[in-house]
Structure 1
Amino acid sequence: MASQQLDKSTPESKWKEVLTPEEFNILRNKGTEPGGTGLYNKHKEDGEYFCAGCGTLLYKSDTKFDSGCGWPAFYAEVEGSVDRHVDRSFGSVRTEITCAKCGGHLGHVFEGEGFSTPTDARHCVNSKSLKFKGKN
């Protein structure tokens, strides 16, 4: 995981030093990994998911569910860890989610899709935005 010292004020040149090219493209350039290819899409281990940029705890495995969307899906974030922004790219209006500490792009959140989760929300997150630490 990246250093905890990285945040929204960190210059892009520093991000390029600490992130892989794929992580940089997603976290800093708002890229998206191809559906069904991410390491954590079908991941079921108990533990916690941290921001691949700054190491902030974002999600816990007990909020992860199989939505069938091709990306890791969570129905809730750790309180205060995720910011939401209106995203008008690609001719539609979506809600982008970013790490509250470093501003790294995580993916998008969709609500009201009818999933039988406590929030009926689906945080569709790029695996490259995350680092996992198991409970053991």
Structure 2
Amino acid sequence: MNRRSVLQGLGAALALPWLPACSQTPAPPAKAGSAPVVALDHPDAFWRDKVSEAAFEVLFEENTEPAFSSPLDDEKRDGSFVCAACYLPLFDSKHKFDSGTGWPSFTRPIAGAMGTKRDLVLLIPRTEYHCARCGGHQGHVFNDGPPPRGERWCNNGLALRFVPRGQSLPALRG
């Protein structure tokens, strides 16, 4: 048993109605006519030699990088943010904003790119999101973002790779 499973158990036991629930925001539906994302069926160990150790810990052990440590927090160029493991495009830069939290934040993901699940690690229910293709942990979504949607998709920079507009997106891997 590890620390995460103990905390999850405590969180489930203590998730009382008076605790503020976070958004259970589902991923936006895929655009009409676009192919749905097909989930890969690889064990987490498959990705170990494809990303850095720090990225592996975030993506597949659900760690969080320190705030203000990612250069992607200050990335302001036009482009796409793709999953650092499988290269699925997750966010367009036009939906990035400075949340002041120290992590890259977005108002919405690319339709169909994310899956979500309930996270009780901090004892307060939150919505964790992950890459719909490889399952890599990206971050959490909150209801304190800017209008019109009010969402803040708070992402670990280590879980992303930035591709400037005009450059070809990398081929999906996995």
**Percent identical residues:** 35
Structure 2 residue 161 is matched with structure 1 residue 131: yes
Q: How does 1:1-136 map to 2 (within 5 A)?
A: 8-111=40-143, 113=144, 115-136=145-166
Give the structure-1-normalised TM-score.
Answer: 0.90
1:92 Cα offset (Å): 1.4
Q: Secondary structure at the match of 1:54?
A: coil
RMSD between superposed Cα atoms in Å: 1.1
Q: Which has the higher strand share?
A: 1
1:94 Cα offset (Å): 0.5
Give the structure-2-normalised TM-score.
Answer: 0.71
Contact 2:142 2:151 in 1 (8 A): yes
List alignment gaps of at least 5 residues for structure 2: 1-38, 167-174
Moved more, 41-50 or 115-124: 115-124
Q: Secondary structure at the match of 2:90?
A: strand
1:15 Cα offset (Å): 1.2
List alignment gaps of at least 5 residues for structure 1: 1-6
Distance in 2, matches of 1:116 and 1:74, equals 10
Q: Secondary structure at the match of 1:91?
A: coil
Distance in 2, matches of 1:8 and 1:110, equals 27
Deviations 1:57-81 (Å, cap 9, x if unpaired)?
1000000001111100000000000
Question: Who is 2:3 aligned against?
Answer: none
1:116 Cα offset (Å): 3.0
Distance in 2, matches of 1:116 and 1:77, equals 14
Please tell me whether Structure 1 or Structure 2 has the larger radius of gyration of its CA atoms: 2
Distance in 1, matches of 2:161 and 2:77, equals 13
